């Protein structure tokens, strides 16, 4: 089975990202990494191809800085990488991103497409399903578990009320939640092997996308600080603190 | 004259607060407000939706229409025919999937995580854990699509509401549209009041250490009438609590009168789900945890001792 995984490089996944000119997240010259949420997709793809054969292709859109994210996925064991880089894509919104990713998949053998439910920095939570619609594919979102039976995909997905088990014919797109598996660490051997793996670097033109389809249709007009709350009182635990908490509950008329 | 559509999800129990919130937000953004509702019960919701300002309900009562692929096809057709300026969707599992598919079909921009809409081409969101408010202009082909976060507007019936006109919509989609099939459904029955409308939320995090930790939290919630138990993602990922109780960016947004955070550090992704709470009380052994800085009252100490003592004090004061 051939699996495509969408992986994103995110600036400072653990820290507080910086806003630059035009109110965009600063992506140039900052520390970044493969989005931790995308490691679950890479791991799931590796487990599938290890048991069923086939190849894992990781596809990403981002600046040159994003290269380490693709390399990390290759070091984990993915077979080939694609990083779409184009100056005109700085500030791409979810629609443009989905167009680019869909174009990057086209023409590749792909039985299964994997992505995270949402990215750590943008968290629109819509890019993968928009890609699925562009490619005319069914989608299983919020999957916590994946398996295969009779050539069909089986998944458990989160629902507002609990969970449901679904079946879906292939090809299909699946978004995985965090915690769906235990992503492996790249081994030293994996890191060495990654250096000689195929890594394509297409531009938007190479993917056959016209200039109009790259124009983002959301513009940030203003950014302001939200009112900060807090400046409250801090007390050591004890009888007095318990009394004060109860006073506050009484003030709020909830007891 | 501008027209906003609201995509309403109508549960078996009838149109509820989620749809009314969207209607209130839509009324602030456009002159005319109409609803699109797919799935059983859609037509029957016309009265409740009308009372909240919807003039019309484009309704398809077929169960098959609840799927995102079919829904996007029909919605695109309706849009071409009636040309609304704006379509609002709830930030829900189904809402996201439907809106995401629709943007591919119409080529119109989709804004996620909006907290307000001020016109057919202007919406607001919060980033960096709700510390910054961002105003965004929406451009490109109409209608602009917006996913509004829960609890972004207050439901508000209109004086001259009346029953909305029902426009029946045919479920006319290709029979060979591939879709996932549901095999089984599991309901994780949470006990007590639902998180969505609880006046008090008692939430626990990794600091509780184990599922047993949540028992002392449940005892606390039990002592406060109408209190529901929530959790951080760390507690959900550890399997101590069901996903349905997760609060934050990928979970629920709650706005109770009082939020009691126990053993939760206050990561940005958690704060976005609860910072609209009227009052916040935090219990943490670390006085410098971000949650403590945000709290109206922070208690520094070991939760294993403090929480049972607090429960006892509440019971003593309320005589229960
Ligand atoms: C894309 C993305 C989405 C996310 N979505 C969410 C989301 O929806 N909701 C969410 O909650 N998180 C979310 N997170 C995760 C978030 O970043 C944090 O990792 C998580 O909220 C931490 O949970 P916690 O506060 O329970 O755990 P920790 O950060 O580990 O905090 C535990 C706290 O307990 C305190 N403590 C420990 N022992 C005791 C004791 N005995 N007595 C008193 N205090 C004690 C500690 O001092 C600490 O402050 C998301 C992350 C990402 C990347
Ligand atoms: N620029 C990108 N490159 C590759 N994958 C992406 C990109 N943006 C989003 N994705 C995929 O879509 C998921 C959800 O992203 P988002 O819609 O931004 O929340 C991510 O976790 C990735 O799997």
pLDDT digits (tens, 9 = 90+) for A50-96: 999 999 999 999 999 999 999 999 999 999 999 999 999 998 999 99
Residue A112: pLDDT band by 50, 70, 90 thresholds?
Answer: very high
Mean of per-residue pLDDT scores for chain A = 92
Model confidence at B86: pLDDT above 80: yes
* Mean pLDDT for the stretch of residues A15-34: 72
What is the pLDDT at residue B40?
Answer: 93
A residues 186-215 near B, CB within 8 Å?
215
CA distance A77 to A184: 9
The larger pLDDT score, comparing residue A113 to residue B189, is at A113
Q: Whose CA is nearest to atom 28 of ligand 1?
A: B265
pLDDT category at A122 given cuts 50, 70, 90 is confident
pLDDT of residue B67: 87
pLDDT more than 90, % of chain B:
76
At A232 the pLDDT is 87
Is pLDDT above 80 for B3? yes
pLDDT exceeds 70 at position B153: yes
Q: Is B162 left (phi over 0), alpha (psi -120 to 50) or beta?
A: left
Of all protein residues, the one whose alpha carbon is nearest to atom 7 of ligand 1 is B248
Task: Give the ligand at the shortest distance from the Cα of B254.
Answer: 1
Q: Are A104 and A59 in contact (CB under 8 A)?
A: yes
Residue B110: the pLDDT is 97
A216 neighbors A96 (Cβ within 8 angstroms): yes
Which chain A residue shows the shortest CA-CA distance from B288?
A: A234
Asked if B258's CB is within 8 angstroms of A249's CB, the reply is yes
Could you tell me the maximum CA-CA distance found in chain A, to the nearest angstrom? 70
Q: How far is the CA of B95 from the centre of ligand 2 (A)?
A: 18
Nearest CA-CA distance, residue B162 and chain A, Å = 31
Mean pLDDT confidence for A187-198: 96
The answer on pLDDT for B258 being more than 90 is yes
Using pLDDT thresholds of 50, 70 and 90, give the confidence band for residue B192: low
Residue B190 pLDDT: 61
User: Mean pLDDT, to the nearest integer, of B302-306?
Assistant: 97
Q: How far is the CA of B128 from the centre of ligand 1 (A)?
A: 16
Q: Is the pLDDT assigned to residue A146 strictly greater than 90?
A: yes
B286 pLDDT band, cuts 50/70/90, is very high
Binned at pLDDT 50, 70 and 90, residue B301 comes out as very high
Query: A residues 98-127 near B, CB within 8 Å?
Result: 98, 117-118, 123-127
- Judged against a pLDDT cut of 70, whether residue B251 lies above it is answered with yes
Segment B21-39 mean pLDDT: 96
> Which protein residue has the closest C-alpha to ligand 1 atom 25?
B264
Tell me, what's the pLDDT at B253?
85
pLDDT for A32: 85
Report the chain B residue with the minimal C-alpha distance to residue A159: B93
pLDDT at A137: 97
What percentage of chain A exceeds 70 in pLDDT?
94
What per-residue confidence (pLDDT) applies to B255? 87
d(CA A190, CA A78): 10
Q: Please tell me the distance between residue A197's alpha carbon and the centre of ligand 2 in angstroms.
A: 23
Mean pLDDT of B225-242: 93
Q: Lowest mean pLDDT: which of A5-14, A47-56, B82-91?
A: A5-14
pLDDT value for A17: 64
| Interstrand relation of B32-38 and B3-8 (parallel, antiparallel or unpaired) | parallel
pLDDT band at B302 (very low <50, low <70, confident <90, very high): very high
User: Which whole number is the average pLDDT over B280-301?
Assistant: 95
The larger pLDDT score, comparing residue A113 to residue B152, is at A113
**Using one digit for the tens of pLDDT, what is the confidence trace for A89-101?**
998 999 999 999 9
DSSP characters for chain B?
A: --EEEEEE---TT-S-HHHHHHHHHHHHH-SEEEEEEESTTTGGGHHHHHHTT-SEEEEE--GGGGSHHHHHHHHHHHHHHH--SEEEEESSHHHHHHHHHHHHHH---EEEEEEEEEETTEEEEEETTTTEEEEEEE-SSSSEEEEEPTTSS-----TT--PPEEEE------TT----EEEEEEE----SS-GGG-SEEEEE-GGG-SHHHHHHHHHHHHHSTTEEEEE-HHHHHTTSS-GGGBBSTTSB----SEEEEES----HHHHTTTTT-SEEEEEES-TTSHHHHH-SEEEES-HHHHHHHHHHHHHHHHT-
Give the number of whichever ligand sits closest to the CA of residue A122: 2
Which residue among A225, A232, A238 places its CB closest to the CB of B132? A225
| pLDDT surpasses 90 at B275 | no
Query: Which chain B residues touch A13 with a CB distance below 8 Å?
Result: none
Query: Token match 């994210």: residue?
Result: A69
Q: Between B43 and B193, whose confidence is greater? A: B43
pLDDT band at B131 (very low <50, low <70, confident <90, very high): confident
Task: Note whether B137 contacts A242, CB cutoff 8 Å.
Answer: no
- pLDDT of B232 reads 97
B320 pLDDT band, cuts 50/70/90, is: confident
Question: Are the beta carbons of B224 and B202 closer than 8 angstroms?
Answer: yes
Looking at CA atoms only, how far is residue B27 from chain A in angstroms?
A: 22
What was the pLDDT predicted at A16? 63
Q: Which residues does ligand 1 sit against, CB inside 6 Å?
A: A 37, 118, 120, 123; B 205-207, 232-235, 246-251, 263-265, 267, 269-270, 273, 284-286, 289, 302-304
Q: What was the pLDDT predicted at B268?
A: 86
User: Band of the pLDDT at B44, cuts 50, 70, 90?
Assistant: very high
Which of A27, A119, A132, A139 has most ligand 2 atoms within 8 Å of its beta carbon, as the pocket-test mutant? A119
- Mean predicted confidence (pLDDT) in B235-256: 89
Q: Quick check: A127 pLDDT over 70?
A: yes
């Amino acid at each position: 089975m051939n699996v495509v995984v969408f992986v994103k490089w995110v600036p400072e996944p653990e820290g507080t990202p910086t806003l630059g000119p035009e109110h965009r997240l600063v992506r140039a010259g900052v520390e970044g990494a493969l989005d931790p949420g995308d490691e679950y997709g890479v791991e799931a793809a590796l487990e599938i191809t290890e048991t069923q054969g086939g190849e894992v292709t990781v596809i990403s859109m981002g600046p040159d800085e994003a290269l380490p994210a693709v390399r990390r996925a290759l070091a984990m064991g993915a077979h080939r990488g694609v990083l779409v880089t184009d100056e005109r894509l700085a500030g791409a919104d979810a629609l443009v991103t989905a167009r680019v990713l869909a174009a990057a998949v086209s023409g590749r053998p792909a039985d299964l497409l994997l992505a995270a439910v949402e990215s750590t920095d943008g968290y629109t939570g819509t890019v993968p399903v928009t890609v699925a619609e562009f490619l005319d594919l069914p989608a299983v979102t919020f999957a916590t578990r994946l398996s295969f039976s009779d050539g069909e995909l089986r998944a458990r997905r989160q629902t507002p009320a609990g969970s449901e088990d679904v079946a879906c014919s292939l090809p299909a797109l699946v978004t995985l939640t965090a915690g769906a598996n235990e992503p492996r660490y790249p081994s030293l051997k994996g890191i060495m092997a990654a250096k000689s793996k195929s890594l394509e670097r297409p531009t938007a033109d190479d993917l056959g996308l016209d200039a109009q389809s790259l124009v983002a249709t959301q513009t940030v007009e203003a950014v302001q600080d939200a009112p900060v709350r807090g400046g409250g009182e801090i007390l050591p635990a004890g009888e007095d603190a318990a009394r004060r908490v109860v006073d506050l509950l009484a003030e709020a008329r909830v007891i | 004259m501008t027209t906003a559509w609201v995509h309403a999800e109508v549960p078996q129990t009838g149109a509820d607060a989620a749809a009314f919130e969207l209607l209130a937000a839509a009324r602030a953004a456009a002159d005319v407000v109409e609803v699109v509702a797919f799935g059983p019960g859609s037509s029957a919701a016309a009265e409740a939706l009308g009372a909240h300002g919807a003039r019309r309900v484009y309704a398809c009562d077929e169960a098959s229409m609840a799927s995102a692929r079919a829904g996007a096809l029909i919605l695109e057709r309706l849009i071409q025919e009636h040309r609304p300026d704006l379509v609002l969707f709830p930030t829900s599992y189904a809402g996201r999937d439907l809106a995401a598919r629709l943007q591919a079909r119409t080529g119109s921009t989709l804004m996620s995580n909006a907290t307000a809409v001020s016109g057919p081409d202007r919406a607001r969101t919060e980033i960096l854990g709700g510390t910054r408010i961002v105003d965004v202009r929406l451009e490109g082909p109409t209608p602009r699509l917006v996913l509004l976060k829960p609890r972004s507007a207050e439901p508000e019936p209109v004086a001259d509401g009346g029953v909305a006109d029902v426009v029946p919509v045919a479920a006319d989609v290709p029979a060979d549209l591939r879709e996932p099939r549901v095999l089984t459904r599991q309901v994780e029955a949470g006990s007590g009041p639902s998180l969505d409308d609880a006046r008090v939320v008692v939430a626990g995090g990794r600091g509780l250490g184990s599922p047993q930790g949540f028992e002392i939290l449940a005892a606390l919630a039990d002592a406060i009438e109408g209190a529901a138990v929530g959790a951080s993602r760390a507690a959900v990922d550890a399997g101590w609590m069901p996903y349905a109780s997760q609060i934050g960016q990928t979970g629920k947004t709650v706005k109770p009168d009082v939020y009691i955070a126990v053993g939760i550090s206050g990561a940005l992704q958690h704060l976005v789900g609860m910072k609209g709470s009227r009052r916040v009380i935090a219990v943490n052994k670390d006085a410098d945890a971000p949650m403590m800085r945000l709290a109206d009252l922070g208690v520094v100490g070991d939760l294993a001792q403090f929480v049972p003592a607090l429960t006892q004090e509440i019971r003593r004061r309320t005589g229960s």
